[in-house]
Structure formats: structure tokens, C-alpha cells
Amino acid sequence: MKLIIGLGNPEEKYKKNRHNVGYMVIDELTKRRLLKDAVVKKTSVFMNESGEFVKKLVEQYKLNPADLWVIHDDLDIPLGSYKIQYGRGPKLHNGVNSIEKELGSEDFWRVRIGVDNRDPGGRVSGEEYVLQDFTDKERVLLEPVIDELCKKLATS
């Protein structure tokens, strides 16, 4: 069995934020009902507190970190792209860092969804940028990524 967790922030005001792309994938996975031998959850805590939430689920289902798939936003990857990697990911993602700390391991899967579409000349910080909503044009680029990831996660 695998545990698939979407990272995000739980309040309604964050629903369309770039930081909540993990929740968006989980919503679509749940809607499609493609997964048979998996537990699919969204965190119910704020991003920076994800570690305790994830650790409780790993322990509850008696899983190894290797059975964990964490879906999250990534500013190191351009919007419209993604990477699925085992044991490595961004060093500046507080949600992922929290999970690594609580599990005492980096040995889990990361589904890193690119959200960076910033103006190179702009001065918006990463922390500010990820808490902004996707624009309509960005959603058009994001939808095929979510579709492809749902299919890949169903067959992984």
C-alpha cells in the first residue's frame, strides 16, 4: 500500500494558491477514483506543520517512508512541468523539510509540481508568490500536469 499526501494550507482563502497545488492533485485523484491500494489524503494542518500529520499517518497504517508519496509545489521548477523523485527535493520547502524532520528520513517519494511563472525582473519573494492564486492563464498550463500526474500515480 502507498500513502499519497497532498500538501497545502487548509483554510478556504488558500484554496487557489500556488502553494495548494498538492491539494488540487488530491482533489482530482479522489474525484477520478483511480487508486485501489492507496490511502489518499490532504494535510489538515498548515504547510509548515505537515511533518507531524504525515508521521501519524505513516505510523497509523504501519508504512515505511518508502511507501510515502508527497505532492507539493516547487519554485525550482517552471509552471507546466513536474518531477517525481525519490529521496531528493527542494531544500527550501518548509512542508517537505518538516516531513523529513519528523520521519527522520529523506527516503520517500516527492511529486514536485512546478509553479514558477514569475517575471524575471519582478521583485516578488518566493514566500509571497506561492501564497498568491494561480491566474486563469496559469491554470490552463497546470491542468494537463494534474491530469498526467493522476494517471502516473494510478500506475506507479
pLDDT in tens, 114-154: 999 877 777 888 888 999 999 999 999 999 999 999 999 88
- Helical ranges in the chain per DSSP H: 21-32, 50-60, 94-103, 126-130, 136-155
* Cα 142 from Cα 1, distance rounded (Å): 28
Span 75-100, mean pLDDT? Answer: 90
CATH class in words for 2-155: alpha beta
Q: Which of 19, 42, 110, 112 is catalytic?
A: 19
- Quote the pLDDT of residue 155: 83
- Quote the pLDDT of residue 15: 95
Confidence of residue 33 (pLDDT cuts 50, 70, 90): confident
Confidence of residue 34 (pLDDT cuts 50, 70, 90): confident
- Quote the pLDDT of residue 90: 64
- Are the C-beta atoms of residues 25 and 72 closer than 8 Å to each other? no
- Quote the pLDDT of residue 117: 84
Mean pLDDT (the chain, rounded): 92
Phi-psi region of 113 (alpha: psi -120 to 50; beta: other; left: phi over 0): beta
- Quote the pLDDT of residue 122: 77
Q: Is 19 a catalytic residue?
A: yes
Q: Which residues pair with 111 in a beta bridge?
A: 71, 84
- Quote the pLDDT of residue 156: 77
Span 85-89, mean pLDDT? Answer: 86
At 132, the amino acid letter reads Q
* Cα 52 from Cα 147, distance rounded (Å): 29
pLDDT at 91 over 80: no
